[in-house]
Amino acid sequence: MSLLRQQGPALAPSSPAPAEPLGVRAVGGKSGRRTSGLSARARHRGMGLLLIAPFTLLFLAFLVAPLAYAFWLSLRTSTLVGGDHFSWFANYKQTFTDPQFLSGVRRVVVFGVVQIPVMLVLALLGALIVDEVTSRLAKVFRMTLFMPYAVPAVIGALMWGFLYSPTFGPVNSLSHALGLGKVDLLSHGLMLTSLGNIVTWQWTGYNMIVLYAALQGLPREVYEAAKLDGAGQIQTALRIKIPMISSALVLTLMFTIIGTLQFFTEPRVLEPTASQVISPDYTPNLYAYNLAFQYSEFNYSAAISFSLGAVVFIGSYFFLFATRKRSGLK
Amino acid sequence: MTTAAAPVPAVAVPAPRRTSAVRGRVTVNAVMVAMILYFLLPFWWLVVAASKNNDALFSTAALWFHSPGSFFDNLQQLFTYNDGEYLRWMGNTAIYAGVSGVGATAVATLAGYAFAKYRFPGRNLLFSSLLGAIMVPATALAIPTYLLLSKVALTNTMWAVILPQLLNPFGVYLVRVYVQESLPDELLEAARMDGAGELRVLWSVALPTLKPALVTVLLFSMVGTWNNFFLPLVMLNNDKLFPLTVGLQSWYQGALIQSGANALFTLVIAGSLVAIIPLIVAFLLLQRYWRGGLTVGSLK
């Protein structure tokens, strides 16, 4: 997942204003002195095109072309008997009736419904605390929570995988000492919780920092006014701070949902430890990966990747639309 | 001598409220300490485990030191195992993160500046597609990109990992917002009046102003590449080209397959510790930049 993806608040401000008056006009205005208006305009066009060219090339090569190619592939079917042929939307029909794909989708939805609120509430709580408290402890708190963000997801999952291990992890000996008996955190019943713990550990601090940045941007006078009206700190937090950063909250929520639908790294790392529990179709993305690289079903894998991308894209578009008032996008 | 006479600033808080404030403070501090302990737990475990030899790893308490002398043995093994393949992965990771990070930042800077300050044909269309691109999930793109690159025989090369990450739509967006907010047209105009060419204006006037935004884009694209797993996993077969993430995961799998008493476990642990230190140090040192950068464009 892209790391910049969660910088939600930044998306909020200028639902891009229609082309501002640019240098073009200004230069044109005093053009008589140096060069004719037309050639200045042309020069600006040329500069714009020149500066944008590297981005445009990359955009075409690594976004448009792969999507187009995947779409083309997804419309074909390749079999030993029938060869490679055009099969229209057969792969998509299969995707949306494939019980393996659908159970993966259901799993990430269940996962997200629990994990996302837990994480965002923790992040919000942390942000409110560091916004209010300025002690040295609060500083340590802020840095500690953010540290997991700097850890590659693979290493986060490896560390927790060791901690969960029934043979030498501390969790088991702890539960044993408490008389709770054997707790297998890598079992069927607890796997989603264990994965949720890893993701929460990894991303809470990042979301906290984003929300904290939004809180820091609020005008302080409002708090003074609230205090004069007799609001305590908790009331100020609930009735003033949280509503005022709702746009940041909505956007962190959206980017977290996008991340959850792509869930891959953590289940993939724990897969060999718990192969009985994490099946090749555990999450949609893991399924697409395994179809392509274990079973060489590239056409079908392309259809699943494409569907997943489309669902995320359309979903986030509607989400932004539905919450446009809150998110500040017009 | 005595301070009794000194005027004590009156504290207007009535007693019951003061105790509730104290109680609130204690609660807040307790919450902070509990969360700090939870978030530090894996790091603590990693440091402890990296100091143990293979036997102690399996037989002693997981959260306390046992044979700290093994730490340097583990490091030595880590750097020499399989002809020093860990060092090679580290070098690869540095190349991937450095080249993609710098490249992505350069491309995003030029594009963001152009979007903010120039008019050119296709500008609006390109900008709306950019906003859409931010929402296209990266992992949904990885497999299609693999299929495409394998057509042109670029998979299993360093380019396959570097090139796709040069595209950073969010970075472009960030630079554009920052240019609009902090770089008035008048400033650029003044430079032009003084006879500076367009490139000179960009280099000597715009870039110095944009530094905080550029450091943010650079830091986050480098971390993005450093931590990336899915793309190199998909693109690379050849373990000589692996970055640390894919390499460590392959060691971990190897350790599990060969089961229990395998020295690879200590390597995975020491390797994880060594791999995360540079990033944590970078984040701590560059705090003021990325924290400033996060607020770029956030609501006023």
Name the CA dihedral angle for B272, B275, B281, B283, rounded to a multiple of 10 degrees.
Answer: -90
A171-174 long-range contacts, CB within 8 A, separation 24+: A173/B61, A173/B62
Query: Is B13 a residue whose pLDDT tops 60?
Result: no
Classify the C-alpha dihedral B20-B21-B24-B25 as positive or negative.
negative
Chain B residues close to A51, C-beta within 8 Å: 110-111, 113-114, 118, 202
Chain B residues close to A156, C-beta within 8 Å: 42
Question: Would an 8 Å CB–CB cutoff place A7 in contact with chain B?
Answer: yes
Alpha carbon separation from A261 to A228, A254, A315, B138 (Å, rounded): 45, 11, 11, 11
Read off the pLDDT band of A3 (50, 70, 90). very low
Burial of A45 (0-12, 13-18, 19+ CB in 10 A): middle
Composition of chain A by helix, strand, coil, percent to 5: 75, 0, 25
DSSP assignment of A53-116 equals HHHHHHHIIIIIHHHHHHHHHHTEEEETTTEEEE-TTHHHHHHHH-HHHHHHHHHHHHHHHHHH
What is the rounded CA–CA span in Å between residue A265 and residue B198?
45
Chain A (36-75) residues lying within 8 Å, Cβ to Cβ, of chain B? 43-45, 47-49, 51-52, 54-56, 58-59, 61-63, 65-67, 69-70, 73
- The distance of B1 to chain A (nearest Cα, Å) reads 32
Name the CA dihedral angle for B128, B134, B140, B144, rounded to a multiple of 10 degrees.
Answer: 50
What is the rounded CA–CA span in Å between residue A150 and residue B11?
44
Amino acid at B131: L
Residue of A10, A132, A247 with shortest CB distance to B174: A10
Chain A (80-119) residues lying within 8 Å, Cβ to Cβ, of chain B? none
A24-33, A206-215, B78-87: which range is least confident on average?
A: A24-33
The mean pLDDT value for A244-265 works out to 89
Query: Is B146 a residue whose pLDDT tops 90?
Result: yes
Chain B residues close to A44, C-beta within 8 Å: 118-120, 198
Query: Is A36 a residue whose pLDDT tops 70?
Result: no
The mean pLDDT value for A155-181 works out to 83
| Residues written for chain A | 330
Alpha carbon separation from A73 to A115, A296, A305, B143 (Å, rounded): 35, 13, 11, 12
Read off the pLDDT band of A325 (50, 70, 90). low
Read off the pLDDT band of A155 (50, 70, 90). very high
pLDDT at A123: 97
pLDDT tens-place string over residues B178-215: 899 889 999 998 998 898 888 899 999 999 988 888 98
Task: Answer with the residue of higher pLDDT: A158 or A173.
Answer: A158
The mean pLDDT value for A265-271 works out to 95
B229 to A49: CB separation less than 8 angstroms, yes or no: no
The mean pLDDT value for A209-223 works out to 88
Burial of A79 (0-12, 13-18, 19+ CB in 10 A): exposed
Read off the pLDDT band of B17 (50, 70, 90). low
Query: Is A80 a residue whose pLDDT tops 90?
Result: no
Chain A residues close to B143, C-beta within 8 Å: 70, 288-289, 292, 301-302, 305
The mean pLDDT value for A40-66 works out to 91
Contact A194, A166 (CB under 8 A): no
Give the ipTM of the model, two decimals please: 0.86
- The distance of A212 to chain B (nearest Cα, Å) reads 9
Residue of A44, A55, A213 with shortest CB distance to B295: A213
What is the rounded CA–CA span in Å between residue A283 and residue B267?
29
DSSP assignment of A134-149 equals -SHHHHHHHHHHHGGG
Q: Which two tokens stand for residue B256?
A: 């599990």
**Which of A168, A204, A205 shows the shortest CA–CA distance to A186?**
A168
pLDDT at B8: 46
